[in-house]
């Protein structure tokens, strides 16, 4: 059954994942007769293991869409390099506000305003301050001046009544409720973003930490607040939530790994895959670079709608047959065209890659 596996190269921001993908028949799980009657669970208020994994994927995709570029700041009348920016939005009211109400009255219209400003790719995450007031972190690759962000966020706060107490005390509504800064001089931007956005410890991590403290005779106090967020903890634009990583089928994995070793590239071998510590696009041939570029272009040009259709990302690579004749090449191209049409085996691979 070895011929039912296909070599795969998965492109990520600063690395590539190599593994073998099962292309044979798939069998449904018959142990659960009500498999199609499973109800969607309500939001737990925690950053679950699955949420952390999806958030990391969204961050990686965001960075693939965000090459460093020089932008012009009309306020400072200067040019400077820009990749992504971090936006923090806080609630200025001394009264602890309902989390769902804050999202409906402030965050939702603010994100709608961002989209109106041309922001196509973003990730947001909710957190609780020590006083239990909710606040939000947003990461995007679109430059917007901090003064405009502050003005709009305070407009929604004022409309919701969250600035009434502030205005009575300070005689104005211009609360210092936002913070905006761009990435500068960060060597591993992906690790920084993950730490910034996915910093809540999971239940498993807290359990391991508690065990270590207990063995040392110490009491473990979690870093995160004991309270939970009532509602959704994080989300992202449809451009980052629907797609999968760009994955190419048909590469000679062994040859790619050997070439990486000869070049001195760091490689981490795991049980089911190998991780090449090198930007995935640097390992592609000319044909595959074109396909990858087209995929990035589709993400940048699609409308930012929550019901956006999933993009095709698994791309079989044309491989010359063993005979090396033109007939073999044509047959490979025919296989590639069939795959792009979305035949059953590719659809199975899409569901596997999710």
pLDDT category of residue 303 using cuts at 50, 70 and 90: low
The DSSP 8-state label assigned to residue 270 in this structure reads -
Q: pLDDT value at position 191? A: 80
pLDDT category of residue 224 using cuts at 50, 70 and 90: very low
What would the two tokens of residue 171 be? 């005689």
Provide the terminal-to-terminal Cα distance of the chain, rounded to the nearest Å: 24
The residues, any chain, with a CB within 8 Å of residue 237's CB and separated by 6 or more, are 115, 119, 120, 121, 122, 123, 304
Q: Is the pLDDT of residue 281 over 60?
A: yes
**Residue 138: strand, helix, or coil:** strand
The closest of 190, 222, 199 to 209, measured between CA atoms, is 222
CB atoms within 10 A of CB 168: 8
The closest of 213, 272, 259 to 17, measured between CA atoms, is 272
CB atoms within 10 A of CB 311: 14
Q: Highest mean pLDDT range out of 19-23, 74-78, 90-94, 206-210?
A: 90-94
Whole-structure pTM value: 0.74
What would the two tokens of residue 261 be? 């070793």
Q: What's the CA gap between 153 and 176, in Å, rounded?
A: 10
Q: pLDDT value at position 125? A: 93
Domains of the chain: 2-28+242-353 (no CATH), 49-232 (3.30.70.1910)
Q: What percent of the chain has pLDDT over 70?
A: 69
Number of H helices, E strands in the chain: 12, 13
Q: What's the CA gap between 297 and 311, in Å, rounded?
A: 11
In the chain, which residue ranges form alpha helices assigned H by DSSP? 49-64, 99-102, 108-116, 146-160, 164-170, 189-197, 203-215, 238-241, 253-262, 286-301, 326-341, 344-353
Phi, psi for 60 (deg, rounded to 5): -60, -45
Kindly report the average pLDDT of the chain as a whole number. Answer: 76
């Amino acid at each position: 059954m070895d011929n039912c596996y296909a070599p795969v190269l998965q492109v990520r921001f600063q690395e590539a994942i190599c593994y073998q993908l099962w292309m044979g028949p798939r069998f449904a799980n018959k142990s659960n007769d009500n498999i199609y009657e499973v109800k969607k669970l309500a939001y737990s208020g925690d950053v679950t293991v699955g949420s952390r994994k999806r958030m990391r994927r969204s961050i990686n995709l965001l960075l693939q869409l965000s090459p460093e570029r020089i932008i012009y700041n009309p306020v400072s009348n200067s040019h400077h390099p820009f990749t992504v920016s971090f936006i923090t939005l806080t609630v200025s009211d001394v009264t602890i506000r309902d989390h769902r109400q804050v999202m409906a009255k402030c965050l939702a219209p603010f994100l709608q305003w961002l989209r109106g400003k041309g922001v196509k790719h973003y990730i947001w995450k909710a957190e609780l301050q020590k006083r239990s007031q909710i606040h939000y972190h947003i990461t995007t690759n679109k430059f917007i001046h901090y003064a405009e962000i502050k003005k709009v966020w305070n407009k929604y706060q004022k409309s919701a009544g969250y600035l009434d107490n502030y205005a009575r005390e300070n005689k104005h509504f211009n609360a210092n409720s936002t913070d905006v800064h761009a990435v500068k001089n960060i060597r591993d931007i992906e690790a920084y973003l993950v730490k910034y956005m996915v910093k809540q410890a999971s239940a498993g991590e807290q359990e391991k930490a508690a065990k270590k403290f207990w063995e040392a005779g110490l009491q473990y106090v979690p870093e995160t607040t004991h309270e939970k967020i009532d509602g959704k903890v994080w989300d992202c634009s449809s451009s980052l939530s629907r797609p999968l990583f760009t994955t190419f089928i048909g590469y000679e994995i062994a040859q790619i790994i050997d070439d990486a070793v000869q070049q001195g590239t760091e490689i981490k071998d795991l049980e089911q895959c190998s991780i090449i510590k090198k930007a995935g696009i640097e390992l592609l041939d000319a044909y595959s670079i074109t396909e990858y570029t087209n995929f990035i272009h589709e993400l940048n040009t699609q409308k930012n709608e929550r019901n956006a259709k999933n993009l095709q990302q698994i791309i079989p690579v044309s491989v010359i047959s063993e005979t090396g004749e033109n007939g073999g090449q044509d047959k490979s191209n025919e296989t590639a065209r069939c795959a792009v049409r979305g035949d059953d085996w590719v659809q199975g691979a899409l569901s596997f890659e999710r």
